Each structure stands twice: as structure tokens, then as C-alpha cells.
Structure 1
Amino acid sequence: MTVVTQPEKVKVEQPLVRKTEARIALIGNPNSGKTSLFNQLTGLNQKVGNFPGVTVDKKIGYSQLTPALRAEIIDLPGTYSLYPKSLDERVIIDLLYDPASKHYPDLVIVTADASNLKRNLLLFTQLADLRIPAVLALNMVDVAEQEGVKIDVDALQRELGVPVIPMNARKGVGVAALKIVMTQQLEPTPVSFYEIPEGLVPLLQNIKARFGLSTEYLALHYAHQYKNLRFLPEEDGVWLDEQLDSEGFKSNTLQANETIARYVRINELLLDVVRVEKAVKDEKFSNRLDQVLTHKVFGYLIFFVILFLIFQAIFAWASYPMDLIDLGIANLNSLIQENFEGPLVDMLTEGVIAGLGGVLIFVPQIAILFAFIAILEETGYMARVTFMMDKIMRKFGLNGKSVVPLISGVACAVPAVMSARTIENWKDRMITIFVTPLMSCSARIPVYTVLIALVVPEKYYLGFLNLQGLVLMGLYLIGFLAAIFSALLLKTILKARERSYFIMEFPVYKMPRWKNVGITIMEKSKTFVFEAGKVIVAVSIILWVLASYGPGDNFEVARQKALKEAAAENLTEVQTENRIDAHQLESSYAGIIGRTIEPVIRPLGYDWKIGIALLTSFAAREVFVGTISTIYSIGEEENVSTIKNKLMSEKDENGDPFFTPARAFSLMIFYLFAMQCVSTLAIVRRETKSWQWPLAQLLYMSGLAYVMAFITYQIFS
């Protein structure tokens, strides 16, 4: 974009209210570069949580603007206007319509695509008429320049009455100027972009007076959206309902008329601000590329090849760092055990470190998975995938927007379930929430990879086709097929007359911004380690206690039995100690629990040790590897160190390797289908506002896991 003049300075009074921290909201249309700007402003200083009172995912970051002023930046969901169409967009009105709230922002930064300014300014004009101090971040100036769009930034700033900062957020251009503006005390724009019809003024003045609102336009939004404002008491909703009914208030018609009037005003404004100096004669590169990548045949083949490459990379690229981490954990344990002794040392090495090792070893694979996901999103390809899959999804009772939660479910089911709020149709949303946990999330990767490594040889075909990677990809495809066929089953059960529509804007293809990819990898890997780590540490300590102690004189009885066997078999001192440990583990509290459930899981090929891992995994799937690592660290029959070696050395009652292909594949299938995530069940409960759905998920997925694992074990046996 060619800038005619530099924007004139905005008159300011003083730094932001002399506060030590300012709250700034970041809002904009989807694909306007909001996420890139958020990452530029906050870097790695981010956290994820929920908006007050709702379960929509929110990102908060912090930016040190001056030595004395830090900004808390709230990344709001992308939206085209202040009239929400989906559940996640409603958090925006909750935040911006309640000036008395402690979460109300001091400043709003509106990101706008410079190459499509007309559409982006609709949201800005609505915010401006709410009289919220604002800054317009005029983003994607490079794209506008390529399309021959010339914007007079100085004139645009005068017309809008707010600071306008030309930016290329992906490269960090303009961020420094924006930070300077963020430190200043800005007044709401004096410009009005919409004239309220005279017939509505008396009604809006009554609403304004009752709620103590600053503008009649905010009162108009109360009239339109009071049913969605969670902070309004019930009696206020009743009062508004009576007022609107008596005045014959027609919300849909008024919203449509307002939108038309705003675009008329925006068109007039842009006539003096924007010029297109050259027409785009050739079809855009993105459109030409879409003809191939979204082709009804080649599009699916290309997507399949991309998935194939991802799963090949997860095994091929991660093997070396995984081996180093595994060896490092083993050496650390050996070092501690050689220099210290006692119950606390045993708990540290056999419980905590062994459990954490089962998480840390898989960080390289988790990082690779999220790196590919981030690249696909950064380039704009992920949006095309959702478009392609829409045709398939509808045949199974899902919405095209269901693809976003399903694909997100490959990373984690919790945010994936929350992202289903963008689906307006109730039936499609419920089906999507129900089947999303069947997608293999990153927590399943530790289970899959350790079991695949045990029974699938590391063979290559044609020099590059990794057999282990093919098996991993097959598991993910089975999860996807299970999700869509379960959706088809649920489609016949749920009855709803709503029709669903799929509307999605394709972002322009771009080279990935590697800084953003790096931030995503760091953030997601850190979340995986710390969130899983907290559960792992707690479970590992509990398991160590349960496995190291038993009721009454069980341990002494087990010891005497082992000593008799050792004497009869003429075992060495080390072998005798291992035999004692093994018998005492079986007589421990953990052993008793495992033996109790063993008859139920025996048809699947599992023993009592695996049973303990299955029980603990209902807290979180990734606990499985930590659990078996802890269990096999106590009473191991050989001097083994790494996790893989511990599992390979485990023997059955006949002295043969315990983890046969039949048992390993049965376990993989069980973990593929089973609902083993308390966090997901809690989120489903909050999203559906009922225990009916999470309990149905738990029963359906657990039953399906048992049946399919049984069939798998019988086939491979």
C-alpha cells in the first residue's frame, strides 16, 4: 500500500490514567491479522483461560509498553459485527456493553484488512458509536499494495476521528508506533456513523436512563440483545421485554436497516480515502491455487499426502531427541539411586521421575504435530480443508463448521469442544461435541508411539515409507471414521428442524510467519508438559505409595514366599531381591486393585498391571505411560533403565514377552475409542448444561472401546 501522507498527530492529554496496568481489547474480522498482531504485542507472555461466566476460550497476553506501564491484552473472538451469530461472539457484547465491569477495556484496538477496508469498517463504526476509545490497526498493507489499493491514511484518520496505524503485523511493521499510541489517553471519536431513527429515540432514552448508559446507541444494543446479556438481572430483562413489546420493536428489520445505512456512510467515506490504481487483470494466485487444492479429486489426495507426511515426520524426526530424553531420564535415576537411598529416594526415582519421564519423552512428537498444525493455519490451507470436508460432513449429519472442532481435536479435545460454539444449528453442535473426543488427540500420542515402537518394526519401504508412521496414520484415520459414523448414528436419534449453512471466508495464501509458528510450538508444548505433568506427578506419587505398601502382613508373607522360591531355584542375591519386589508389588494395594478388575479385562489380553494403568488413565490418557513406567520400575525383573526397555523386558506367566502384537494393538484400539479425559467430560457438561451428554459419551465410548479392543485381540491372537 502506498501511503500518501503520514498520519497527523492525535491530540493527547496524558499517559493512560497514570495507571500501572491498562486493559486493552483486540478485536477484528476473521482473517484480518488479529492473531499475528496479538503475537507481536505479547510474544511468549500469553495464557489461555475462559471468559467470566462462559466456557469460550480466551487468550490474554501482556506487553510492557513503558517501564511503568504494562498492558493486559485480551484477544477477543473474530467477528464481522456487534450483532453476534454464534455463541463465542456473544462474549464480545458481554465485555463491551457493561462499563461497570472490572473487565471493561480502557482501549479497543480494531484490526482491519487494508485490502478490504469497506467490509472491515462496519465493525469499527459500531464500536465508534459506542463511544469506546479506539485505535484502527490498518493491517495487511503489503497485500493492499500488491492489489494496487492506495489509501490516504491522513484523510482516513480525519474521517474516523481516531489514530490509524498502517501495519504489517506478520512482519512486525508498525507495532512500535501502535505501542506508543497505546500509552496515550485517547478520547472516544466525536464522529457519528449512524443516525438513530427518530421514532426510536423516546424508547432508547428510557433504556438509557434506567441503566445509566452513556449513549443512545448502546441503549439500542440493549434493546436488540438483552436476552444475550448475562450481566442483566432477570427483572431488567422482563422490563425490557415489556417496553419493546409495547413499542412494536422489530429487531431483525432494524438491524438490517442499520447495516445498510452504515455501508452507505462507509462508501461515502472511502470515496475520498481509497483509490485502486491498477486493476487485477490476472486471476489471483490464491484463486488459481484453490483450483488445485480444493479440487473434488486432487484436493482430497493432496490433503491425504499432507497427513501422511505429518505422521511420517512424527516418527522419523522425533526419534533422536526422544532417545536422548529417555536416556537422560534413565541416567538421572541411576545417578540418584547410586548416591542416595531410602523411601523418599525410591518415591522420587520410581514414582515422580519415572512418571515425568513418560511425559517428557513425547515432547518432540507433540512439538512436531503442533508445528505442522500451526503452519497449515498460517498459510491459510486449514480453511480450505474445512471447505472441502463440508460435503462429506453433511452426509453424516454434521456441519461444515464441524470440521474445525474435529481437526482441533487432533491437538486437544477441550478447546475443540469449545470451538463448536461457532455452529449455530443446535443439532449439528450437539453431534459435533459428542463425536469430537473420538479424534485422536495429542494425549494419545504417548500411548500410540510407545506401543507401536514395541511391536511394529522400524522398516522403510521405497526408501522413505516408514512402517511405524503408516500404523500411526492408520490409527488417526480409524478415529476419524469412528467420529463420522458415530455422527451418522446420532443423526438418526436427534430430531431437529433447523437447517444449517456453511459460510467461510478464505484467507489469502501466505508464507508462514515462523515467529508465530515458534510461539505456537512453545505455548502448546509447555501446556502439554505442565498440564499433564501436574496430573502425572500426583498420580505417580499415589501409585508409588499404593505399589510400595500393602495391608496387614501381606508384604512379609510375600517376602517369605519369594525367599522359599529363591532357595528352591538357587537364585542369586540380585535375582532374589527382584523376586521379592515382584511378589510384594502383587501383594500391595495397587496389586489388590489390579487383581480385582483383572477378570473384566482379561478377555482383552490385559493383566492387573495394565488394569491399574487403565484406571489411572481415566484422569488423562497420557497418564498411561507414566503409570506403567512407575509400575514396572518397582519389581522389575532385570536391570533395565529406559521406558522402552522396561516394557520390552516384561514377561507373561510363560516367560514370553508380555507385549505381543495382539496385546499392543488391543491397547491402542482401546485408547483410541475410550473416553479417558475428565477435563473433556467437564467441558462437555458446561457446554451442554447437562450431565446427560457427558455420561452418554462416557458409556458409549467406553463400551465401544471394550468391544473393539476385544475384537482386535482375538484377530491378532
Structure 2
Amino acid sequence: MASSSVIKKTQTIALIGNPNVGKSSVFNQLTGLNQKIGNYPGVTVDKTVGYLRDSSNELQLIDLPGTYSLYPKSEDELIAYRVLSESDGKLDAALVILDSCNLERGLLLATQVMDLGLPLALVLNMKDMAEKSGVKLRTHELYQALNVPLILTDARKSEGIQAVKSLLIQRTFNQVDPFISVENIIPEGLLKATMEYFNVTSPYKAFQLLVFAEEDNTLNVEDRSWLLNRRLEFGFDIHKAKLEEATIRNKKIKAILEKTVSKVDSGKGSFGNQMDKVVLHPVLGYGIFLGIMLLIFQAIFAWAEVPMDWIDEGFAGLAAWITQTLPEGVFTDFLAEGLVPGIGGIVIFIPQIAMLFGFLAFLEDTGYLSRVVFLMDRFMRPFGLHGKSVVPLISGMACAIPAVMATRTISNNKERLITILVAPWMSCSARLPIYIIIIGLIIPSQTILGVNAQALALLGMYLLGTVATLLGAFLLNLVFTQKQKSYLLTEMPVYRFPRWKAVLMTMYGKSKVFVLEAGKVILAISIILWVLASYGPPSTMNSLYEEEENLLSNTQSVEEIAEIEELFASKKLEASYMGIMGKAIEPVIRPLGYDWKIGIALITSFAAREVFVGTIATIYSIGGDVDNELTIREKLAQEKRPDTGEKVYNLATGLSLMIFYAFAMQCMSTLAVVKRETKSWKWPILQTLVMTGVAYLAALITYQTLV
């Protein structure tokens, strides 16, 4: 018999559901912007926590990773299992999100949650798609059969969300009797001993402990040993038990759905099938994917150029205004040569960052991105990668950090490790500012067969990263000899019109993260660089100041004064602490076509790749004439080598620099995440050495070939 659960004033509620059921949409609708990212205690998997508040309550909602059942095969599925099965007072209830078009699969997970003894309610999402597909739900009969509250929703359009909020606030969850009885699957003595040893009241929790003793790495050695010994003692066959449980559960679910769900031919299912024949075509599908990527890069250059120019000119003008308006001194120099160029080096790339993430959000929301995962799976296997490796690798086009974390869905340890090690070679958004600024310097803005040459160059860099990733995976697959079969299990969501609000929110959110997270690093390093470039060994700097004063006192010509000031600005920069650092590594990087100023950018960008542009902006602002309002691009275009008079950023140097950044592991945050995911410093250290070595060699070959 169902009993209304008593939930504490401060509730903690877990949201769980299969992948692609709109769970995150429901979560976002419920919590709005009241979200934060945390970490599950004791494991290396992030969680998203949100809050729903009314006048007297604060509800904490935990968005769990998507999973098809409580049979964990990967780390993220293990988290869902752990949080639910080991809640014991930590969770007050569970909100299970189901796809209205596929209740059979969703109810497998939902009934497992029931058997854990948690109070719960069901959200039947995507009701609009169920209607279009001809699925008829008799919700009252379904409620009577399951005895838990259920609400129909369309989270994309916010339909039913208010009812879900009311359910949460009014605490109308039900804790019901077990859906199936595991007492018929486990020997009575083994079940009783396990419940007593672990002090659990739910038979299904004891069943889970026995079945997943080896997979659950949070169990201590003593507890795991006890479970394994008891299984041997009672002759408990876990594979047979899991199969028997699934058979009993599915049989009962089908019996319920036969009475509560019916389907009629709506005649509306042909569009998706016809589209799939085109986008998943073994030849045409890849052409469509490359065409879409080229269109994205074309748009990034064409549409973002105007706002980028405005931002660039605006900061150049601001620096000039500061110099002209404020009195001369260290503070004015700091603002005009350090702070303003540093901020400008961040803000100028917001248009491209926003557009890249906007396009990716658009493709994901339409359902196309899932097709790309399926399409590219054909390429993954020969390279030692799992089909699910495509998701992290595509994520790597945005950022390597979530790409590495996304490998948790890969159950095969070898394939997961290979994906982690090669994912940073995918061209992430942190490389985008470098590619944009250098391509703009070395590639003319002209069209080739109607396509912008700069867009083609950017596409080429992304393809280079992809080729390097696959080749690296192939070599690692030869090195790692572990043999373990794996299969791709993915789902094709229906084609839908994108939610423009969601796309715009993604653009805003990702741009905000870039400004606040990467921007903090860029700005901090820009300030440090200004200090290092403005000061040097006192004896050397004082000697240069005296020499400059003597020359200036002996001339009256305005032109000669300007030449003297420009000459000594360069000498002071070279004699500064930053100049000393650059000169120290110049012999190593000169064969790549780099001077000591570029060397400084290489050093600082080991913190984060995107720091390169902010560093260059700061270096070329220090000691320069900011009154002329030159933009970052114009300053780089005018930079010449003092010994030859040639442009620093010519074709050979520019390509060498882009290729170096395409391959080098210059992101300390990624290294930290790799260490966290692999639980060892061995892999990030090896990863850094190999990637940096490959980057140096590739850049050397490029420059020496073109020079």
C-alpha cells in the first residue's frame, strides 16, 4: 500500500532519467539560473546542483547523469547508481523523467528506483512528440498501476513545468511497495546476511550490492571481499540473477503498458526517416557534415568581423584617450599599456566564441549532432576508439576539459584512456583566438570558388586536429594491448526546430564562462607581463634611461625625438625581465621562426592557450605610441625583424605558430582534469611531453619547409 512520504523542510531531490529524455531541460526550467557545479564526494565526476525556492522552502535538486538502468557500465552510470542506492537519508525523493514515446525503457529505470525504497514521482516528458507519433496515454490508469504521482510535460515549451514545481513544493511524492520481489532471485540466507552486514532495509539495495561488488570502486577492500566470499559461499550467479531480474521486471512493465498505452498510425513519422537516409548516407553524410562545418567557420569570419573590428578599435581608442587625458606616470602607463590591452585581448574574441557555441547548440537541439555520433562511429573502431568517443571528441571542439570528463560514458577502460589522451588534439575554442588572429595576418581575405579563403584555412586547422587525434589513437591502440569487446548504444532523437532561447542562453553562458574563467587568467597574466616588461635589472635600466636623456637633451627635432623614444622603448623592453626570459629561450625557438617576443607568449600560454593573444597585445603595447590608435592586428602586421627587416608574421612563421598550438598541450586546467580522471600523474606528464615534442617537430618542419 502506498504511503505519503514525509519530506524534510530542506529537501534534496535527485532528477534521473534515460539519455535524451529532456532531463536537463526539466532541470533548467525548474532551477533557472540557480545552479552550480560541484563534485560527488570521493569520485571524479561533476554534478549539477540547482535550487527551487518558495516562501518557506528551499529545494536542492541534483541532476544525475543519464542512464538506462541501475546496471552501471561506465563511471557516470555508476554515479547515478551510487547516489540513489546509497542515499540513506541524503536524498528525500527522486523525480524520474521519462520519454512519453518510449515508456517501456524509461519504466525499467523508474521501477528500479521504486524498489530502492525512495519516495518518487514521474514526469512524462515530450508529450508533444507522443501526440505526433500517435501514442495515446491513459494517465489515470497508469497512475493506478504504478501508484506514484505522474505529470505530463513538454519541457521545451515549459508546458507542465508549473505543475512539477507545485508537486515538488507540496511534497507529493509516494513511497510504494517494491515493484518486484528479489527474494525469489537471491538465496534467503545470502539476502538476510547482506542486509544485516550493510545495515540496509531494502532487499533491492542488498541485491545491488551483491551484483555490483566488483564495479563499485567506492567499496572498501573489506566490504568487497565479504561480498565476493558470500557469493561464492552461496553459489550466487550474478549474471543469471541480473537476467532473471530484467526478465521479471520487463514482463510486468509490458503488462502494465498494454493496458495504459496504445499507438495509432499518425502518418507523421516519415520525415525523420527520409532525413536520416540523407544525413546518415555512407558517402553523402560525411560531405554534409564537412559542409556544415565549413559554413560555421565561414559565418564565424564573415559575421564576427564587424563586431570584432569595433571592439579592437574601441580598445585602441580607449588606450589612446587614457594616454592623452591622464597625467604621465606609472599608473597611466599601467592602464594604457597593461590593463586595457589585456581586457581587449579577452573581449575581442567574444563574438567568435559565442558563435561557435551557438552553432553547436543549434546542431544539438535539432537532433543532428546525435546523427554525427552514429555516422562517425564507422571511423572510430579502426583507430581503437569507441563509438561514444565521438561525443568527447566533438566536445573537444569547444573545450578539452568537458571532453575529457565526457569519456566517463565509455565503459571500455582502454578506449576511455585512449580518448582521454588524444582529446586535447581536437581544436578547442581556446585555439580559436590564435587561429583567427594569425589567419587574418597571413591569409588574404579573398574567395576561392565562392568560399572565403580564411574560412578554408580555419577548417583546415580543425581537420588537422581531427587527423592528429585519429592517428594518435591508432598508435596508442597498437601500444595498449588490452582486449575487451564494446558496443555502441546510442539513440536518435527526433528532428525538432531549435529553441532559439536555449541557443542564445548557451551563447551567453559560454561567453560568460570564457570572460570570467579564461578572462581572469588572461587579465592576471597581462598585468604580470606589464610589470615584467616595464621593469628590469636596475643597473641596466638606469643606464638606458640616462643614455636616452642625454640624446634627447641634445636634439630639438620632433622627428629625431620620436625616433629616439621608439629606439629606447625597444631597448628597454629587451632589457626588461620579460625580455631576459624571452632571450633565454630564443635559441631553442628560433629554428621555428619565432623571436623572443613570441617566446614570451609561448611561456605564458602554458597556463592557457588563449593567453597568447593577450600576451602579444600587451607586449606590443608596452613602450609603443598608443596615440596612433593601432589595433592588435595592425601592430602585429607592422612588426618586423630587426636583423632582416622582414615581417615577423609571414606565411612560414604564421603557419609554424598555428601548427605548434594545434599540437602542444598548453592548458594546465586540462592536465589537472586528466590527472583527476586517470587518478595518476603518469598520464598527464607523458601526455605533455609527447604533445609538446610533436608540436615542436611539426612546427620545425613547417617553418624550415616554407622559409
Letter of the structure 2 residue corresponding to residue 18 of structure 1: K
Letter of the structure 1 residue corresponding to residue 26 of structure 2: L
Deviation at 1:49, TM superposition (A): 3.8
1:6 matched residue in structure 2: none
- The alpha-carbon distance between structure 1 residues 434 and 232, as it changes in their structure 2 partners (threshold 3 A), is closer
Identical-residue share of aligned pairs (%): 49
1:3 matched residue in structure 2: none
Deviation at 1:565, TM superposition (A): 6.9
After superposition, residues 201-600 of structure 1 pair within 5 angstroms as 201-276=188-263, 278-279=264-265, 284-337=270-323, 338-462=325-449, 464-562=450-548, 571-600=559-588
- The alpha-carbon distance between structure 1 residues 561 and 640, as it changes in their structure 2 partners (threshold 3 A), is farther
Deviation at 1:658, TM superposition (A): 2.2
Deviation at 1:456, TM superposition (A): 1.6
Alpha-carbon distance in 1 for matches of 2:410, 2:555: 69
Letter of the structure 2 residue corresponding to residue 364 of structure 1: P
Which of the numbers 37, 53, 58 marks the counterpart of 1:48?
37
- Secondary structure of the 1:457 match is coil
Deviation at 1:293, TM superposition (A): 0.6
Q: Are 1:60 and 2:49 matched, yes or no?
A: yes
- The alpha-carbon distance between structure 1 residues 58 and 99, as it changes in their structure 2 partners (threshold 3 A), is closer
After superposition, residues 593-672 of structure 1 pair within 5 angstroms as 593-636=581-624, 639-653=628-642, 654-672=644-662
The answer (yes or no) to whether the contact 2:121–2:173 under 8 Å persists in 1 is: no
- Secondary structure of the 2:538 match is coil
- Secondary structure of the 2:437 match is helix
- The alpha-carbon distance between structure 1 residues 282 and 332, as it changes in their structure 2 partners (threshold 3 A), is closer
The answer (yes or no) to whether the contact 1:94–1:230 under 8 Å persists in 2 is: no
Deviation at 1:634, TM superposition (A): 0.7
Alpha-carbon distance in 2 for matches of 1:368, 1:49: 27
Give per-residue Cα distances to partners, 1:447-485, cap 9 Å, x unaligned.
Answer: 0101111122222345x5111111111110111111111
Alpha-carbon distance in 2 for matches of 1:293, 1:200: 51
- The alpha-carbon distance between structure 1 residues 71 and 578, as it changes in their structure 2 partners (threshold 3 A), is farther
The answer (yes or no) to whether the contact 1:436–1:483 under 8 Å persists in 2 is: yes
The range that moved more, 210-219 or 328-337, is: 328-337
Letter of the structure 1 residue corresponding to residue 141 of structure 2: A
- Secondary structure of the 1:83 match is coil
- The alpha-carbon distance between structure 1 residues 565 and 343, as it changes in their structure 2 partners (threshold 3 A), is closer
2:187 matched residue in structure 1: 200
Alpha-carbon distance in 1 for matches of 2:532, 2:170: 59
Letter of the structure 1 residue corresponding to residue 39 of structure 2: N
Deviation at 1:632, TM superposition (A): 1.0
The answer (yes or no) to whether the contact 1:138–1:165 under 8 Å persists in 2 is: yes
Alpha-carbon distance in 1 for matches of 2:224, 2:541: 67
TM-score (norm 1): 0.93
Letter of the structure 2 residue corresponding to residue 704 of structure 1: V
- The alpha-carbon distance between structure 1 residues 106 and 326, as it changes in their structure 2 partners (threshold 3 A), is farther
Alpha-carbon distance in 2 for matches of 1:333, 1:61: 42
The range that moved more, 111-120 or 679-688, is: 679-688
1:178 matched residue in structure 2: 164
The answer (yes or no) to whether the contact 2:608–2:666 under 8 Å persists in 1 is: yes
Give per-residue Cα distances to partners, 1:73-99, cap 9 Å, x unaligned.
Answer: 222111110111111111112212223
Which of the numbers 689, 692, 695 marks the counterpart of 1:705?
695
Alpha-carbon distance in 1 for matches of 2:320, 2:28: 42
The answer (yes or no) to whether the contact 1:562–1:579 under 8 Å persists in 2 is: no
- Secondary structure of the 1:26 match is strand
The answer (yes or no) to whether the contact 1:152–1:274 under 8 Å persists in 2 is: yes
Deviation at 1:100, TM superposition (A): 4.6
- Secondary structure of the 1:213 match is coil
Alpha-carbon distance in 1 for matches of 2:45, 2:588: 39
Aligned length: 700
Deviation at 1:35, TM superposition (A): 2.0
The range that moved more, 168-177 or 225-234, is: 225-234
Deviation at 1:496, TM superposition (A): 1.5
The answer (yes or no) to whether the contact 1:359–1:446 under 8 Å persists in 2 is: no
Give per-residue Cα distances to partners, 1:27-70, cap 9 Å, x unaligned.
Answer: 10111111221222223333334332223233233333x13323
Letter of the structure 1 residue corresponding to residue 64 of structure 2: L
- The alpha-carbon distance between structure 1 residues 174 and 228, as it changes in their structure 2 partners (threshold 3 A), is same
Letter of the structure 2 residue corresponding to residue 698 of structure 1: T
Give per-residue Cα distances to partners, 1:645-703, cap 9 Å, x unaligned.
Answer: 22223221144432112211111111111110111111112222222221221111111
Alpha-carbon distance in 1 for matches of 2:705, 2:75: 45
Letter of the structure 2 residue corresponding to residue 409 of structure 1: G
Letter of the structure 2 residue corresponding to residue 418 of structure 1: M
1:134 matched residue in structure 2: 120
* Structure 1 gap segments, 5+ residues each: 1-9
Give per-residue Cα distances to partners, 1:461-514, cap 9 Å, x unaligned.
Answer: 45x511111111111011111111121222221112212222211111111122
- Secondary structure of the 1:61 match is strand
- The alpha-carbon distance between structure 1 residues 517 and 63, as it changes in their structure 2 partners (threshold 3 A), is farther
- Secondary structure of the 1:572 match is helix
- The alpha-carbon distance between structure 1 residues 340 and 108, as it changes in their structure 2 partners (threshold 3 A), is farther
The answer (yes or no) to whether the contact 1:325–1:361 under 8 Å persists in 2 is: yes
Alpha-carbon distance in 1 for matches of 2:432, 2:419: 22
- The alpha-carbon distance between structure 1 residues 56 and 302, as it changes in their structure 2 partners (threshold 3 A), is same
The range that moved more, 688-697 or 29-38, is: 688-697
Give per-residue Cα distances to partners, 1:128-154, cap 9 Å, x unaligned.
Answer: 111112110001111111122111111
2:140 matched residue in structure 1: 154
The answer (yes or no) to whether the contact 1:41–1:175 under 8 Å persists in 2 is: yes
The answer (yes or no) to whether the contact 2:589–2:595 under 8 Å persists in 1 is: yes
Letter of the structure 2 residue corresponding to residue 179 of structure 1: K
Alpha-carbon distance in 2 for matches of 1:522, 1:230: 38
Alpha-carbon distance in 2 for matches of 1:181, 1:618: 50
TM-score (norm 2): 0.95
Alpha-carbon distance in 1 for matches of 2:517, 2:133: 45
Alpha-carbon distance in 1 for matches of 2:206, 2:506: 40
The range that moved more, 681-690 or 666-675, is: 681-690
The answer (yes or no) to whether the contact 1:43–1:519 under 8 Å persists in 2 is: no
Letter of the structure 1 residue corresponding to residue 8 of structure 2: V
